[in-house]
Amino acid sequence: MDLVSILATVILVTTIGTTVVGVGAYAAFKLRDKRRPKAKKSTTGPGHEEPVFLKRYLPPAEPAKAE
């Protein structure tokens, strides 16, 4: 075999291997996504959802300075 045939074979095998790994990773992701329990949504009213991990920052109230 000459060098071009060897390189073409290496590229073909690498491409097929990458595709197989990608399909396997996608299948594992879908299986894990189905297994995960659904989280309850925290809502304060219709159409308004509170953030799950974030807490709103309210700066401390300061009296107005007279200039």
**Is residue 4 situated within a structural domain?**
yes
Residues with Cβ within 8 Å of residue 44, at least 6 apart in sequence: 50
Tell me, yes or no, if the pTM score tops 0.75: no
Confidence of residue 51 (pLDDT cuts 50, 70, 90): low
**Is residue 51 situated within a structural domain?**
no
**Is residue 5 situated within a structural domain?**
yes
Measured in whole angstroms, how far is the alpha carbon of residue 37 from the centre of its chain? 17
Q: Is the pLDDT of residue 12 over 80?
A: yes
As for how many domains the chain has, the answer is: 1
Percentage of the chain exceeding pLDDT 90: 46
**Is residue 65 situated within a structural domain?**
no
Q: Is the pLDDT of residue 44 over 60?
A: no
Q: In terms of residue numbers, what domain contains 1?
A: 1-34
Q: pLDDT at position 41, please?
A: 56
Residues with Cβ within 8 Å of residue 43, at least 6 apart in sequence: 49, 50
